[in-house]
Amino acid sequence: MAKMKLAESTFTLIPEGTTTFKVMEVNDEKYEDYGKLEVKLQTAKGETHIERFSLIKSNGELNEGALKAWSYFARTCLNNYNVDEIDTQDIVGCYITATVKHETYTRTKGDKAGTEGTSVRLNDYTTASGFGDSDTKADEPADEEDDLDDLDL
């Protein structure tokens, strides 16, 4: 047997409150066959969240509630509430602000059945144009020298 050092667990829940996210990726591989979309979102601090939309029910019928949720999400990302059709990739790079809420539940399947879990739910979407003046984008380092050039001395 070999001893091996394990990596530290870095998973944390996104804190409750209002948070701005950047759409990093839309996984639509299961859309044609199963009506499923996954949208990977990232905060300014680099925390990630995946929003899932199941547009077709298990019986094959259209899930109108999920379609309305996806439509509102996409239109808010694009800041265009009149658009009728988009390519799912159109929202990549867009920003959206949402209210983050934690919900506890009891697991019903798997090895952890019967234990309590916490999920993150996003709602109250609003359009955003970026992370804001006080936050630094997670994928871009802060450039403090540019700020100093604007000072009048």
Question: What pLDDT, on a 0 to 100 scale, did the predictor assign at position 153?
Answer: 45
Amino acid at 38: E
pLDDT tens readout for residues 57-95: 999 999 999 999 999 999 999 999 999 999 999 999 999
Of 43, 41, 21, 39, whose CA–CA distance to 29 is shortest? Answer: 39
Q: What is the largest CA-CA distance in the chain?
A: 69
Cross-sheet strand order for the sheet of 36-42: 48-54, 36-42, 17-27, 95-106, 116-128
Kindly state the tokens that stand for 147: 């700020």
Residue 105: half-sphere exposure toward Cβ, Cα within 13 Å: 11
Q: How far apart are CA 70 and CA 85, in angstroms?
A: 12
137: pLDDT strictly greater than 50: no
pLDDT at 86: 95
Residue 96 contacts residue 77 (beta carbons within 8 Å)? yes
45-64 average pLDDT score: 95
CA 16 to CA 122: how far, in whole Å? 10
In this structure, what are the phi and psi dihedrals at residue 40, rounded to the nearest 5 degrees?
-90, 120
Sign of CA pseudo-dihedral 4, 49, 66, 29? negative
